[in-house]
Amino acid sequence: MTEDIPQAPSPAREQADRFLRAREVQSVALLEDYVEMIGDLMAEMGEARVADIAERMGVAQPTATKAVARLKREGLAISRPYRGVFLTEAGGTLAEKVRARHRTVVALLVAVGVPEETAELDAEGIEHHVSDSTLRAFERYLSQR
Amino acid sequence: MTEDIPQAPSPAREQADRFLRAREVQSVALLEDYVEMIGDLMAEMGEARVADIAERMGVAQPTATKAVARLKREGLAISRPYRGVFLTEAGGTLAEKVRARHRTVVALLVAVGVPEETAELDAEGIEHHVSDSTLRAFERYLSQR
DNA sequence: CACGAATTATAGCCTAAGCTATATCTTGAC
DNA sequence: GTCAAGATATAGCTTAGGCTATAATTCGTG
């Protein structure tokens, strides 16, 4: 047998794990975006209609329909055919979390000198990769200054 | 005709554009990761072999082969069957840019209080969404403190 | 209350990125 | 120089997320 007990993984393995994590994050990123969007629409108009979701996400209507189907599968939304889409409790909770994280990321970017517009643009992609640990660090940084 | 000359786009449109941009970024993110990785391997071992690329990326070997094919299509790498993979000049330039951006992102995260390990983990996903403008802001922030 | 317009769903297609299984090529050891 | 082991390529499948075209449903208006 080899020298060592379960211990330091190889550098290659560590690096691979980072990429695996990034890919995992990516797979939930779209879900998060849709959930947040549906939350917005529910707040603004009482319900989210597929056409509005599609318009705001910048996708074709059938793409939005398919995304909603996935949200339903994951227990984040409910809907009946030809009717509006609504978030479940889990969906609502996620939407709130995503919204808060988005605000924090934008605020941090602005705090370190990124122009508002750019911050808003970049945050859309960045936010999904901000872990809870990093998010807390951002909050600490923003509060003590 | 309507009231206004080509001007302020609708909020929905603006939001859609942000998502479109995030999706675009995503489509080049993997290319960037592979190019950086191949650069690392070339520096360490003189060439990048498909098996090593696969191991470090945490994917199966055929997935790496396919990725290399895409890199070749995009003019970022060259290779001959059953031989190592090498970066083109364009690939090398991109690798250097990606590596520098990665370092800056990690440094900024650490500077605002994110633990090293977490910074390294999150940076892997975040970096691809950091625009040139944001990167410059990060550099300014890091230099004046 | 019926019908046309608007909305939503469905069908079918494409590409990217992952996988396993298997075929092909290279190379080092004998 | 052969051949077995190792590395790479290929075939074929899956899922996700796009798209267009078209079918089905709902709803406001006359």
Residue A80 CB: number of other CB atoms within 10 A?
Answer: 8
Cβ contact B37:B56 at 8 Å:
yes
- Identify which has the larger pLDDT, B5 or B51: B51
Q: Would residue A1 count as lying in a domain?
A: no
Q: Do the domain assignments include residue B113?
A: yes
pLDDT for residue B8 is more than 80: no
Residue B17's SS3 state is helix
Q: Is B133 on the interface with A (CB under 8 A)?
A: yes
Q: Which residues, including other chains, have CB under 8 Å from residue A45's CB and lie 6 or more apart?
A: A52
CB pair distance less than 8 Å for A19 and B115: no
Q: Which of B82, B145, B72, B80 is nearest to B108 (CA)?
A: B145
Nearest to A58 among B16, B113, B133 (CB): B16
State the residue range of the domain holding B40. 11-143
pLDDT band at B2 (very low <50, low <70, confident <90, very high): very low
Q: How many domains does chain B fold into?
A: 1
Which range, of A60-69, B1-10, B40-49, B103-112, averages the lowest pLDDT?
B1-10
Query: Do B114 and A134 lie within an 8 Å CB cutoff?
Result: yes
Is A91 within a domain? yes
Closest C1' nucleotide to B51's CA: D7
Provide the pLDDT for residue B6: 52
Is B4 part of a structural domain of the chain?
no
Q: What is the CATH number of the domain that holds A123?
A: 1.10.10.10
Test mutation, B32, B105, B112, B132, chain A, max A CBs within 10 A: B112
Domain assignment present for residue A2? The answer is no
Structure confidence by residue, pLDDT tens digits, B53-105? 999 999 999 999 999 999 999 999 999 999 999 999 999 999 999 999 999 99
- Nearest nucleotide to B30 (CA to C1') is C17
Question: A8 falls in which pLDDT band (50, 70, 90)?
Answer: low
Flag whether residue A60 sits within 8 Å of chain B, measured between CB atoms: no
Residue B84 lies in a domain: yes
Residue B3, in any domain of the structure: no
